[in-house]
A and B are shown apart, each in its own frame.
Chain A
Amino acid sequence: MSRLPERFSACAKQNRPALVTFVMAGDPDPETGFDILSALPAAGADIIELGMPFSDPMADGPAIQQAGRRALNAGQTLSKTLQAVERFRQQDADTPIVLMGYYNPIYAFGVDKFLSDAKSAGVDGLIVVDLPPEEDAELCIPAIKAGINFIRLTTPTTDDRRLPAVLENTSGFVYYVSMTGITGGAIRSREAVGGAVQRIKRHTELPVAVGFGIKTAEDAAIIGRDADGVVVGSVLCTAVAESLKDGKGGAQSVEAVRAVVSELAEGVRQARR
């Protein structure tokens, strides 16, 4: 059973959006990366998106590109990412984990083996950027059969005509991309996002989380008025980058991420006050 529905409803009971935090697995190195991951729930993260680094992240801006590059240079692999989830689960049985990335490393790993390893490691959902509904047979349908949520991105270009097809095999939650662009860009109108969330909610019962371009506690509070979840990623990757000393991470990296997440957690709690 996915941990996602329960977590979203727990946040809804507190009348606040869920804080969804994205960090890159193995960034800046496997050990520090794991310590960062471990620190997220206590810092206020409700749901964790864990990036699977890829050499060619076509939908990502510089912050997440560099996070992936750091992780790969430090030897991160998909296998190690799954092991990190397994290790995390020994200390935290409740925080949902969603793996996010691109299809090729999964395809190279083998879809069936990946799904069975991910399931037993304790993964709740998948977001795979380059698998639109047109390619559902590749991973989406097998993931659902394996009991793992497949979370779809909807974007400002997904019109009402296309939305039902996008939502059809979506489970866990719907990820609304707040703008046309790459991760870490600028949202043109935070207010317009609310209308888009309402539009999606007319088509689905699933929670709607909003991501791309949310940087501050204030952003999180404004977006969180309408959204069931706010996703923050690039600022956390930037915090890791800025914490490096002579290119190396350490306890200060964990602290840097923890500080940003605490602030954002405060933001989501202000959203509907």
Chain B
Amino acid sequence: MSTDRINSLRNGPDENGRFGLFGGRFVAETLMPLILDLERAYRDAKQDPEFEAEITDLAAHYTGRPSPLYFARRLTEHLGGAKVWFKREELNHTGSHKINNCLGQILLAKRMGKTRVIAETGAGQHGVATATVCAKFDIPCVVFMGATDVERQWPNVLRMKMLGAEVRAVSAGAGTLKDAMNEALRDWVTNVDNTYYLIGTAAGPHPYPEMVRDFQSVIGTELREQFLETEGKLPDAVVACVGGGSNAIGTFHAFLDDPEVAIYGAEAGGHGLETENGHAASMNGGRPGVLHGNRTYLLQNEDGQILEGHSISAGLDYPGVGPEHSFLHDSKRVTYAPITDEEAIAAFQLCTRMEGIIPALESAHGLAQVMKLAPEMSADQSIVLCMSGRGDKDVESVGRYLGMDLDS
């Protein structure tokens, strides 16, 4: 790893929460004292060996870390290029990488003496992970979820309810992740005294992008060690899907200062970038703006009104992206490419049939990117995908998309 700290890409954010132009604290005054408190509490916890020890212990015994590094033999043979590996975050407790962040933040919420937790969710993976840690730590939990997403991800809605969470369907806008986040912010501004807002992605006002990244960085740190141990070198490329971008930043961060490792993020290309309002690729199809507490690439019209966007994957169906990704996009360290609904579905099917692993539709976007890259690489090279979540929640909507007979 580079020892040149001044030119390191891993130094962000600055004291104002900026990653270059991006990030910041664009929130209403009512919330400002709260996020300053949160920042102080987080700095304090980071210094505390007990906090770290508790996270490590829970990661091992509750989440099941480290997650395995898996060589996808049949996919490798099929694609006929680089060796394809999966970092198996879908094997974590609750079925995705989201638990890494939720455990960190729930411990922080407890340290801060908060007695109520709220969260937003798209695919429901973060909602389930939040409901899970709230059950474990006995804290009441309200999850905001777009009405459209409640419908297309109902297995996760049931899981949240069984875990004791209250799920509030948000019918404003297109009823997706953006609207859920608006409603969560409205709740937070109303219940400032007792409520902890457990944001699920590496976005929102500072310190959330930094904090969520730190809690997710275990993915890349483990992966780096595992790969060095297995192959005696670093991988040639790492790939992850990017909605808000928490699994991606968690995967990428350990490799940012390793120039020999190419890094790719797969954005939701929906029906294709040429279809107006038909995708959720904020970096490839948007421009910088301010929403949900931070400056970042956003899908917006000429008047600065935020567009709804579209993706078959509820977890990627968000018109923005975490600010650190915007920074890495502008600095060209990471290549972000759009993957269409159709490409993601094809990758979903291929992975299921060839590896016996049903990927989340979100992760299938990353896999589609791997399918484009691996054949162009040589057999002595390696490419690693962060398999961020499992696809049990998606089998019904994929079946419907493919016109499979669901009744017989």
A residues adjacent to B (C-beta < 8 A) = 54-59, 61, 65, 72, 77-79, 102-109, 129-135, 152-159, 162, 166, 177, 180-182, 185
Contacts and interface: CB of A to CB of B under 8 A. Distances in A.
A37 B16 CA distance: 39
23 contacts: A54-B304, A55-B305, A58-B189, A58-B292, A59-B30, A102-B290, A103-B26, A104-B290, A105-B303, A106-B304, A108-B304, A130-B28, A130-B293, A132-B27, A133-B32, A135-B24, A155-B28, A156-B30, A180-B30, A180-B189, A180-B190, A180-B193, A182-B189
Contacts of B191: 180
A156 B193 CA distance: 11
Contact of B290 (A77, A107, A185): A107
Interface of B: 16, 24-34, 172-173, 178, 182, 185-186, 189-193, 289-293, 298, 300, 302-306
Contacts, number: 112
B25 A135 contact: yes
Contacts of A61: 186
Contacts of A129: 28
Contacts of A57: 182
Contact of B26 (A130, A180, A182): A130
Given A56-B306, A104-B290, A130-B290, A154 B186 contact: no
Contacts of A103: 26, 290
Contacts of B31: 157
Main secondary structure of the interface of B (DSSP, over half): mixed
Contacts of B189: 58-59, 180-182
Contacts of B26: 103, 130-132, 135
Given A78-B303, A181-B190, A130 B27 contact: yes
Contacts of A182: 186, 189-190
| Of listed B34, B186, B289, residue having the most chain A CB within 10 A | B186
Contact of B16 (A55, A58, A134, A154): A134
Nearest to B192: A180
A199 to B, nearest CB: 15
A149 to B, nearest CB: 17
Contacts of B28: 58-59, 129-130, 132, 153, 155
B186 to A, nearest CB: 5
Contacts of B30: 59, 153, 155-157, 177, 180-181
Given A103-B26, A180-B192, A108 B302 contact: yes
Contact of A132 (B29, B173, B290): B29
Given A58-B186, A180-B190, A153 B303 contact: no
A162 B178 contact: no
A-B CB proximity, top 8 nearest: A108-B304, A105-B304, A181-B190, A55-B305, A155-B30, A77-B303, A104-B304, A130-B26
Contacts of B33: 157-159, 162
A104 B185 CA distance: 17
Contacts of A56: 173, 178, 182, 291-292, 306
